[in-house]
Amino acid sequence: METVEMNSVSLKRPRSEDDVANADEIKRQKISEKSKTGNDSGQSVETVTDQPDKSLLEDTKNEIIPNEESEEQEDEELEDSDEDGDPESFADMMKHGLTESDVGITKFVSSHKGFSGILKERYSDFVVHEIGKDGRVSHLDDFSVPVDDEVNFEDPSEETFTVLSDEDKQRLEELQLLKNKETSVAIEVIEDTKEKRTVIHQAVKSLFPGLETKTEDRDGKKYIIAYHAAGKKALANPRKHSWPKSRGSYCHFVLYKENKDTMDAINVLSKFLRVKPNIFSYMGTKDKRAITVQEIAVLRITAQRLAHLNKCLMNFKLGNFSYKNHPLKLGELQGNHFTVVLRNITGTDGQIEQAMRSLREIGFINYYGMQRFGTTAVPTYQIGRAILQNNWNEVMDLILKPRPGAEKGYLVKCREEWAKTKDPAAALKKLPVKRCVEGQLLRGLLKYGMKNIISAFGIIPRNNRLMYIHSYQSYVWNNMVSKRIEEYGLRAVPGDLTLKGATAVHIEEGDVDNYTIHDVVMPLPGFDVIYPKHKIGEAYKEMLVADNLDINNMRHKIRDYSLSGAYRKIIIRPQNVNWEVVAYDDPRIPLFTTDLDKLEGKPLPVLPTDGKFRALKMEFSLPPSTYATMAIREVLKMDTSIKNQTQLNTTWLR
């Protein structure tokens, strides 16, 4: 399914020099990556900074289902080369998109008058630092490589990374991944010295886990022969003898990335290291259009090899290396700390002060943000509802049918072909990018037939399939919390739910004075939750009945689609809230220093005391499963949907 950047709020200017520079930077990176690895970098997909509710984590484990490499490369080139088009035509397409009210986002909790501002005019205006489970904020502040106590182990030297030709690397990678029938690869030793042979042996073993080497004489020439030590098992389990027992099996590091989402970054790292992406682990995904700092763990890759990537990659920096005995797990983080600049703000000092004090003292409604629901005329929650209804023909139709809205040209042609012929093979031919949900479903229909849509749909990666039903849960929750705020306001009332440990209990009449709105939770519908004992509990039932679903039986005949419920706080009060209004003249200059700026000793530009524009710089920390865009929405009191914002863009441009 095609995804579009969701977080741009208010009046974004036309394509700026920053955007042009960024496009050039991406092209340079692609050229750089091709010259070093023979492959393009990973895919470009928008993801959400915020994490799933913990009760849903069992359903959203990080599964990586790689596709065929040639197809993957072709997909990347097409995705990278496709432009969104000019702002006005994009705004016209987005007239069919969703607004906040379409997904139940209708209320505010503050009383100040709203004002406008530009979010993410530059991606560097939105910075996210992960907060680990120990409460420590992740920062990139150290490029040094830890020294091993064990002297018998030798990390690869710098020469290791250059001694093999691109052709040798390609052949070795194919051998490593068992992609051809060759049982070995022979590399001729041109400079026949023991030292040179040792470097080649080290290079093969370091860069290609699972391969062993030996030296052979053939026709008077020396060759280093690379071969699999134990077939596929060796690929899954890198050589044990090459890793010191005293060293933790996982290298943890801080990843600083710019304008890349987390999986995109991991795909790039895995290609440069020539390993599978699933040896990486992390606690949460982060925004694409942002600067983000998070902890990553990788199995049995040395800090030295990782640090070497800092010389090769653009938009990434790796540092703060350490060895530990455990990977990272999705959902382990405590939250994220945000540094956000809203440019060209129109609010008075009084309005801004009132808005930010309200954010700090009251908070914001904990809505699921627009990222959760897609951008086209077919919202993801509609597909989720059809799955829960066991209406598989509708699932297929909703995913594949023509739709108005922001779509790339090849998807439009694919949908038109599907509407005309209902032939998965013919539709697939119109779709050069096979990795998208539409392509995966069409391949499934080719494989299993039109009468087995369930199996065909199952070809789509599990995380993507579950995204649809979680979107429906989010849609219900948003609508119900709006009703709850409208009905009872910002106070706890008898019949509300609160959490006692991990258990939800009803607030009784005699205890209501012991609770505030910040204690109240609302359920996401599922088979193991209870509902409020007041009007909102009945509203849940009415909404699900209208959708032909039984609120008392949310188990699905396919286990994956049985909705496990959860509880979510109505109001989130951000922590560590700080703000400052600054003046500036040039919209291209940064208004604060990043971790990388500090490491490189870059000073903050001197800002004018009386500039043409004003910006609101704010900082705050949020727990997992909360959306920074919803906090910013409360400050600006503006619709954050891409439909609304692109229409504002068009009005402003004219």
pLDDT digits (tens, 9 = 90+) for 369-425: 998 998 777 899 999 999 999 999 999 999 999 987 667 788 889 999 999 999 999
Average pLDDT estimate for 560-586: 94
The b-or-e profile of 281-320 (16+ CB within 10 A means b, else e) is bbbbbbbbbbbbbbbbbbbbbbbbbbbbbeebbbbbbbbb
Give the mean model confidence (pLDDT) for residues 243-257: 92
Q: Minimal CA–CA distance to 579: which of 640, 626, 620, 632?
A: 620
Q: From CA 329, how far away is CA 5, in angstroms rounded?
A: 26
What is the mean predicted confidence (pLDDT) over 478-491? 97
pLDDT of residue 457: 96
Interatomic CA distance for residues 103 and 644, integer angstroms:
14
Element (H, E) at 291: strand 291-299
Residue 108 clears pLDDT 70, i.e. is over it? yes
Q: Mean pLDDT check: name the lowest of 35-49, 510-524, 562-576.
A: 35-49
Report, as an integer, the average pLDDT of 118-132.
91
Residue 243 vs residue 104, higher pLDDT:
104
Task: Give the pLDDT score at 28.
Answer: 38
Q: Which of 76-90, 120-134, 391-405, 529-543 has the highest mean pLDDT?
A: 529-543
> Please, which pLDDT band fits residue 169 given cuts at 50, 70 and 90?
confident
What pLDDT, on a 0 to 100 scale, did the predictor assign at position 175? Answer: 83
For the ranges 231-235, 293-297, 581-585, 606-610, the lowest mean pLDDT is seen at 231-235
Average pLDDT over residues 64-93: 41
Structure confidence at residue 519 (pLDDT): 97
So what's the pLDDT on residue 547? 96
pLDDT band of 648, cuts 50, 70, 90: low
Does residue 405 or residue 275 have the better pLDDT? 275
The whole-chain average pLDDT of the chain stands at 81
CA–CA separation, 283 and 302 (whole Å): 20
For residue 339, CA distances in Å to 128, 282, 577, 600, 653 come to 7, 21, 10, 20, 28
Q: In the numeric block, which tokens belong to residue 265?
A: 């970054």
Report how far residue 170's alpha carbon sits from residue 188's, in angstroms, rounded to the nearest whole number. Answer: 15
Token pair for 129: 């630092």
**Which residue type, as a one-letter code, is found at position 653?**
L
Per the model's pLDDT, the better-predicted residue between 603 and 292 turns out to be 292
Could you give the CA distance from residue 597 to residue 601 in angstroms, rounded to a whole number?
Answer: 6
If you average pLDDT over residues 512-527, what whole number do you get? 95
Percent of the chain with pLDDT over 70: 79
Task: Give the range among 6-20, 165-179, 450-464, 608-622 with minimum mean pLDDT.
Answer: 6-20
With 50 as the cut, is the pLDDT of residue 60 above it? no
309-354 residue pLDDT tens: 898 888 999 999 999 999 999 889 999 999 999 999 999 999 999 9
Q: How confident is the model at residue 148 (pLDDT cuts 50, 70, 90)?
A: low
Question: Per the residue annotation, which of 59, 75, 261, 287 is the catalytic one?
Answer: 287
pLDDT bucket at 27, cuts 50 / 70 / 90: very low
Nearest to 337 by CA among 134, 620, 48, 575: 620
User: How does strand 364-365 pair with strand 571-572?
Assistant: antiparallel
Whether the per-residue pLDDT at 486 is higher than 70: the answer is yes
**Confidence grade of residue 1 (pLDDT, cut at 50, 70, 90):** very low
Q: In the numeric block, which tokens belong to residue 550?
A: 């039984």
Distance CA 627, CA 606 (A): 32
Q: Give the separation between CA 518 and CA 501, rounded to whole angstroms.
A: 15
Residue 471: band (very low, low, confident or very high) from pLDDT cuts 50, 70, 90: very high
Q: Which residue has the higher pLDDT, 235 or 412?
A: 412
| Range list of β-strands (E), 497-636 | 497-500, 503-506, 520-524, 566-569, 571-572, 575-584, 613-622
Residue 287: active-site member:
yes
For 256, what's the count of Cα atoms within 13 Å in the CB-facing half-sphere? 23
Nearest-5° Cα angle at 178, 242 to 160 = 40
> Average pLDDT for residues 212-222, to the nearest whole number?
85
**Of 482 and 11, which is predicted with more confidence?**
482
State yes or no: pLDDT of 459 exceeds 90. Answer: yes
DSSP tally for the chain: helices H, then strands E: 20, 18
Confidence bin at 290 (pLDDT 50/70/90): very high
Whole-number Å distance between alpha carbons of 6 and 1: 14
> Does the pLDDT at position 447 exceed 80?
yes
- Among the residue ranges 67-76, 242-251, 594-603, the one predicted with the least confidence is 67-76
Which pLDDT score, from 0 to 100, does residue 454 have?
Answer: 95
Residue 9 above 80 pLDDT?
A: no
